[in-house]
Amino acid sequence: GQQPPAGYAAAPPSPVVPGPTYPHGGASPAPGPAWPASAPAGGATPRPRGRALTFVAFGLALVLAVVSGVQAYQISRLSDRLADTDQRLATAQSGDGARLDGLEQRAQALEKQAGAQFNPEAVATAVLPSVFRVRAGQFTGTAFAVGKPDTGGGTNLFTNFHVVESVWVGGGREVFLERTDQRYPATIVKVDEVNDIAQLRTTSKFTGLVTAPAAVKPGQQIVVVGAPLGLQDSVTTGVVSAFREAGQGSGPVIQFDAPINPGNSGGPVINGQKQVVGIATAKARDAEGIGLAVPIKVACDGFRIC
């Protein structure tokens, strides 16, 4: 080599450090695969995965515990609210039951009041199907079905004796009942000339009217149904003027002020409860508002068909 220029000192030679020897005798390692070097002594080591999973599990458990607590609290609140609602419902139902009982009592009272009120239209509607025009020879009058059906399957009726008198005295027994366009044959079964009552019977079936159990009183409102002058299904109203006891050879009579005319004889006199109280018989001549009827008890006691 060349000498360094003047003025410069020569560098001291590098010391030779003995190194490991390799099998091939060289100073450097033989070529071959490179192995990973070991980590430096002062470097950081990776954190284990098990610890992270532990933290995650603990977090989930904590969340579940919080959710469960919240749900338990909500369930407790709902249970309290349901119990309170049940109590309110029980109280309301008790109050409703009391109110319903009160309403039922008021309804019953109103029904009684309505029944006590006089309603001629309702009375006529219930009675008319059981009332007939009677043709007995040349005479016409009225008859009405009464009581239960006859044992033979027919219907018993009441009328006045003077309505069927000409047929009965002449030895006949057949008369005819007329209603609207229908005509039914009937038979005179029995008569009471003193009280002016006659019993008829027909094989046809009709609803019998109910008779009143008690005697009428003055002022009681009534309906009279009949066929005055042959005009069937005629209805008049009035009040009982008096109840006159038997005397001077005649039986008891009901005096009333409802208008009647020839043809009404034998028709029913009805009270507000749709019960027969008498049989219209006659009207006073040369007077207004004086009609007479045979008490229904007299007819029932004499004929035993009520």
Write out the catalytic residue numbers: 162, 196, 265
With beta carbons less than 8 A apart as the criterion, state whether 295 and 154 touch.
no
Helix or strand run (H / E) with residue 294: strand 291-295
Tokens of 32: 């071959």
DSSP state of 36: P
Rg value, the chain, Cα: 60
- Sign of the four-CA dihedral 98, 103, 105, 106: positive
Helices (H), the chain: 49-116, 120-127, 161-169, 296-303
**Closest Cα to residue 163, out of 184, 136, 187?**
136
DSSP state of 147: S
**Closest Cα to residue 280, out of 204, 233, 218, 225?**
225
Sequence-ordered list of residues with C-beta below 8 angstroms from that of 217, at least 6 positions apart, any chain: 240, 243
**Cα 54 versus chain centre, distance:** 70
With beta carbons less than 8 A apart as the criterion, state whether 253 and 295 touch.
yes
In terms of phi and psi (left: phi > 0; alpha: psi -120 to 50; beta: otherwise), the region of 69 is alpha
